[in-house]
Amino acid sequence: MTLTLIVLLGLGLCRCPWDQVQAGLPPKPSNWADPGPRVREGSPVTIWCQGSLQADSYSLYKDKRSKPLDTSIPEASSNKTRFLIQPMGSHCAGLYQCAYSTGDTLSERSKPLLLVVTGKGERRSPPHCRLLLRG
Ligand SMILES: *[C@@H]1O[C@H](CO)[C@@H](O)[C@H](O)[C@H]1NC(C)=O
Q: 49-58 pLDDT, tens per residue?
A: 999 999 999 9
For the CA of 52, the closest atom of ligand 1 is 14
* Distance in angstroms (rounded) separating the CA atoms of residues 102 and 94: 27
- If one residue of 79, 81, 102 were mutated to test the ligand 1 pocket, choosing by the most ligand atoms within 8 A of its CB, it would be 79
Average of per-residue pLDDT across 5-25: 56
Name the domain count of the chain. Answer: 1
Q: Which residue range is the domain that position 34 belongs to?
A: 26-134
**17: in domain:** no
**42: in domain:** yes
Q: How confident is the model at residue 135 (pLDDT cuts 50, 70, 90)?
A: very low
Q: How many CB atoms lie within 10 A of CB 20?
A: 14
Note whether 41 and 119 are within 8 A (CB).
Answer: yes
For the CA of 29, the closest atom of ligand 1 is 13
**15: in domain:** no
pTM beyond 0.85, yes or no:
no
**126: in domain:** yes
Say which CATH number the domain at 90 has. Answer: 2.60.40.10
The DSSP 8-state label assigned to residue 74 in this structure reads: P
pLDDT computed for residue 84 by the predictor: 95
